[in-house]
Chains A and B, each alone.
Chain A
Amino acid sequence: PLLTDEEALLPAPQNISILSTNMKHFLTWSPVTVPGETVRYSVEFQGEYERDYANEIWIPISECSLITVTQCNVTEDISATVPYNLRVRANLGSRSSKWSTLKVLFNRITTFLTPPVMEVSTDGYHLLVKLEDLGPTFQFHIFYWRKGQESWVHKKTVKEISSVVHLDTMEAGAEYCVKAQTYVEAINRSSNFSQAQCVRGPDG
């Protein structure tokens, strides 16, 4: 189809995609370059509700309205486990390009979950673990076992990370190993396990 003068001058952004890691979702796209000009971009989203119940309306993301960077944090708006559509267009003065829309709808269930950063320590006979705080959406499944008793693994679920978490009391002279994975209940998925770390208790 023939492009109008306006569109010929301002092509739509290309290569739009979602980068989603640990429930943080970013829309990215390739820049539209117009020599000597600053091109700006605006982003809108549409959830399954809008498509099926609200006349397919699109909702603007104000933080990503007329921005110059080619990335938008859409985490706050992708807040349900349903398929979302996203679109971006270029703006130059009063002119706007066509919208570019995701090729495939995005559901946060596909987010990439990284193994948690974990630090195991002891305080006397007490086995302790410190985990990185990934926000309220995350829980941690912590597995620990006494070396030599690999078949008897204990599991503890930790929901709120505020500081060092007490895992268990150790036997004298025994070595204990710990590994953890994150778990996101909203999407019912877990990460891979962190590298196991082993520590030894006092000899008694």
Chain B
Amino acid sequence: AELYCSLPSPKNVHFESKNLKNILDWSPPEGLGEGVLYKVKYLIYGIGKWIKKSECKDISRTWCDLSNETYNHEDQYYASVKAFFSGNCSRWTETARFNPLTDTKIDPPAVTVSSTEKSISIVLTAPEKWKRTPEEESVSLYQVYSGLQYNVSVLNKKTKKRWVFSIKNNTLVVPRLESNTVYCVNVQTYVTTPLLLSGFSKECCIATLKD
């Protein structure tokens, strides 16, 4: 039976999701200071049976990794947190309905750049979906989002001009460049629908070879 609980509740209970790695996150209840413990439960929408997350029972941290439990990105989920402190407890506080497919954030791709005298070659590797075990076969976000593409930004350090390419495949060769010139590349992953936009990758600069 549910105890009578009068503690203030955990706040801002929500999923922080990146590349479908789904972490339940919250802020501590106000005014309690150190020593608050939490427990977590979750449910699959449509089945509706709350399931306790044993690894997040009586924890003091304010996050809980539910990636495994929410691995099927075609389902939707709720999660809930309860606080305990010196014999008292709070009510359960729930997330909004979580749809991994539309609510996740995505990373920029991994970028490798090489150069010749007159060209640079850019190879992109799409971010991967979170894996349950290192041995598990990788699932590229390319396979999850059919509309995934890249905005490739190239900066000519000599002329200070920046140009953008929009490409769907993961390689781009930019020919007829100036030799002995530094070009800087950064790339953004972009899903047209549902609309998801990553930040830009770290700038990667390379010089074309001398004549």
A pairs with B: yes
Q: Which residues of A contact B (CB under 8 A)?
A: 121, 123-126, 128, 158-160, 162-166, 169-170
Which residue from A125, A160, A164, A170 sits with its C-beta under 8 Å from B151?
A: A160
Residue of A nearest to B154 (CB): A166
Which residue from B151, B154, B175, B177 sits with its C-beta under 8 Å from A162?
A: B151
Q: A169 touching B192 by the CB < 8 A rule? A: no
Q: How far is it, in angstroms, between the C-alpha of A125 and the C-alpha of B163 when the chains are bound?
A: 13
Which residue from A164, A169, A170 sits with its C-beta under 8 Å from B164?
A: A164
Q: How far is it, in angstroms, between the C-alpha of A165 and the C-alpha of B166 when the chains are bound?
A: 8
Query: What residues of chain A lie closer than 8 Å to B154, measured between beta carbons?
Result: 166
Shortest CB–CB separation between residue A184 and chain B, in angstroms? 16
B86 within 8 A of A: no
B210 within 8 A of A: no
Q: How far is it, in angstroms, between the C-alpha of A126 and the C-alpha of B165 when the chains are bound?
A: 12
Q: How far is it, in angstroms, between the C-alpha of A166 and the C-alpha of B162 when the chains are bound?
A: 9
Q: B166 touching A159 by the CB < 8 A rule? A: yes
Shortest CB–CB separation between residue A17 and chain B, in angstroms? 34
Query: What residues of chain A lie closer than 8 Å to B49, measured between beta carbons?
Result: none
Q: B166 touching A160 by the CB < 8 A rule? A: yes
Residue of B nearest to A136 (CB): B195
Q: Which residues of B contact A (CB under 8 A)?
A: 151, 153-154, 156, 159, 161-166, 174-178, 190, 192
Query: What residues of chain A lie closer than 8 Å to B176, measured between beta carbons?
Result: 124-126, 169-170
Q: B151 touching A165 by the CB < 8 A rule? A: no
Q: A159 touching B192 by the CB < 8 A rule? A: yes
With A163-B164, A165-B163 as given contacts, are A124 and B151 in contact (CB-CB < 8 Å)?
A: no
Query: What residues of chain A lie closer than 8 Å to B159, measured between beta carbons?
Result: 123-124
Q: A128 touching B151 by the CB < 8 A rule? A: no
Q: B161 touching A128 by the CB < 8 A rule? A: yes
Q: A164 touching B178 by the CB < 8 A rule? A: no
Q: B161 touching A123 by the CB < 8 A rule? A: yes
Q: A165 touching B177 by the CB < 8 A rule? A: no
Q: Identify 13 residue pairs between A and B in the complex whose beta-carbon atoms are under 8 Å apart, listed by A's number.
A: A121-B161, A125-B176, A126-B174, A158-B166, A159-B166, A160-B166, A163-B164, A164-B162, A165-B163, A165-B164, A165-B166, A166-B164, A169-B174
Residue of B nearest to A163 (CB): B164
Q: B192 touching A162 by the CB < 8 A rule? A: no
Q: List 20 extra interface pairs beyond A160-B151, A160-B190, CB under 8 A.
A: A123-B159, A123-B163, A124-B178, A125-B176, A125-B177, A126-B174, A128-B163, A159-B192, A163-B162, A163-B163, A164-B162, A164-B163, A164-B164, A165-B163, A165-B165, A166-B163, A166-B164, A166-B165, A169-B174, A169-B175
Most buried by A among B153, B156, B166, B175: B166
